[in-house]
Amino acid sequence: MDPKKRKKVLNFKVHSNRRALRGILGVVIFLSKFCPELASWSSTLSELQGENAPWRWTDTHTMAVEKIKELVNSPQILNPWNHFSEEPKYLVCDGRDIGLGSWNGQGKLGSIRPCRFHYQTFSPAQLKYPSYQKEFLAIVDYLKSFEAQLRDNKFTVLMDHQPLLSFLRPRQTSQKLAR
């Protein structure tokens, strides 16, 4: 992570003005691809940035800023993907009710350090998918999003495989699954 960007977040003054808030949110949006949960905490602050939005700073906003600073300064910050490392590489995926989450990382099983996180909410059509299709979609979506990073690397996919067991039992004829 860029130390200048981290420093800007850590030095943000609570109760600043709308312009300062927009500046910090721009940095947070950039950093959210490197830091878990950052985007959800920044959404609390986003409600203050509109021109017509009233500027009412509350304890909730202060707590969100403190949590953002904690996340940016935590050891959970992602490690860069090392293509040349001999450490095992993993893709961890999960399809939930409202969206999918996935991340890749390196290290021994049990102490994997994440390299990148990916979250996406489902479209109205995808919300109707059965759970095993949501699990497949989590894998496919991540592979499409980070193909360049994963190309020419051997990696293991880790996931909650219970929904996929139902896929293996009956014969599936869906053209969508065949693709």
Sign of the alpha-carbon dihedral angle for 37, 123, 90, 6: negative
Residue 57, domain extent: 3-72
- Token code pair at residue 124: 């109205």
Which of 176 and 97 is assigned the larger pLDDT?
97
For residues 64 and 109, membership in a common domain is answered with no
Q: Give the mean pLDDT of the chain.
A: 79
Which of 100 and 2 is assigned the larger pLDDT?
100
pLDDT at 125 > cutoff 70: yes
Domain boundary among 72, 102, 122: 72
Domain boundary among 41, 72, 103: 72
Per-residue pLDDT at 34: 65
pLDDT at 50 > cutoff 70: yes
For residues 111 and 159, membership in a common domain is answered with yes
160 in Cβ contact with 92 (< 8 Å) = no
70 in Cβ contact with 35 (< 8 Å) = no
Pairing relation of β-strands 156-159 and 89-95? parallel
The percent helix, strand, coil of the chain (3-state, each to 5) is: 45, 15, 40
Which of 140 and 51 is assigned the larger pLDDT?
140
For residues 163 and 118, membership in a common domain is answered with yes
Residues 71-86 have a mean pLDDT of 78
Q: What is the CATH number of the domain that holds 135?
A: 3.10.20.370
For residues 60 and 107, membership in a common domain is answered with no
Per-residue pLDDT at 3: 64
For residues 167 and 93, membership in a common domain is answered with yes
Residues 16-37 have a mean pLDDT of 74
Residues 104-116 have a mean pLDDT of 83
How many angstroms separate the first and last alpha carbons of the chain?
37
Total count of domains within the chain: 2
User: What are phi and psi for residue 128, nearest 5 degrees?
Assistant: -85, -5
